[in-house]
């Protein structure tokens, strides 16, 4: 690339407009992607990473999704939750707990605003294992299963990248020693693969 354009009369610096295309190409923004490409295509895969807070602690989640049809995405997710123990059996004890979750479900599209914003209604069946520190002679660990329902929003920055926000409510009717109705609110990044 030439930094200076030589003219017979004088040497001049390139204008901003002349430098814009090489800069955008260097950043990867002006790549050869079709404008307004479909965001929901059958067999398109997505990987997302989310971090946030739950009703009792902080959590980190990774999700793999694949579109089954244009508006419906199949999802498999795994999460780690860690924070202070807050159940009634612990009393004033603020020892920490750690929870591991695995979920499988679908996320149908609820609303679409242009090609930028997509709202989804994810429904998953989640299994949870909680590892609690001992409060007495025995360790309290727990395993539970239950449904989770939420609302997620995706704002596309590019055809392959979106910023994701989610809010969901879980319900573990049997066996959760920490919290049987956890709430989660978080945000993250989603990358779309393939096609």
Note the pLDDT tens digit of each residue in 100-115: 999 999 999 999 998 8
Q: Which of 50-54, 140-144, 179-183 has maximum average pLDDT?
A: 50-54
Rounded mean pLDDT, 16-45: 57
Q: How far apart are CA 43 and CA 193, in angstroms?
A: 10
Question: At which residue do the structure tokens 């695995």 appear?
Answer: 102
Token code pair at residue 63: 């999700």
Class of domain 52-193: mainly beta
**pTM for this prediction:** 0.70
């Amino acid at each position: 690339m030439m930094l200076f354009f030589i003219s017979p009369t004088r040497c001049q610096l390139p204008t901003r407009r002349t430098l814009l295309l090489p800069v955008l190409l260097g950043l990867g923004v002006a790549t050869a992607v079709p404008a307004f490409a479909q965001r929901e295509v059958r067999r398109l895969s997505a990987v997302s990473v989310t971090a946030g807070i739950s009703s009792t602690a902080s959590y980190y989640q990774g999700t793999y999704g694949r579109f089954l049809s244009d508006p419906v995405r199949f999802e498999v997710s795994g999460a780690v939750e860690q924070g202070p123990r807050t159940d009634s059996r612990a009393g004033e004890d603020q020892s920490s707990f750690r929870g591991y979750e695995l979920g499988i479900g679908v996320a149908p599209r609820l609303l679409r605003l242009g090609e930028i914003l997509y709202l989804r209604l994810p429904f998953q069946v989640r299994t949870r294992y909680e590892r609690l520190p001992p409060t007495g002679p025995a360790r309290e660990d727990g395993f539970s299963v239950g449904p989770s329902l939420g609302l997620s929003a995706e704002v596309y920055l590019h055809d392959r990248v979106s910023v994701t926000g989610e809010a969901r409510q879980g319900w573990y009717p049997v066996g959760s020693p920490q919290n049987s109705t956890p709430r989660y609110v978080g945000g993250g990044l989603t990358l779309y693969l393939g096609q």
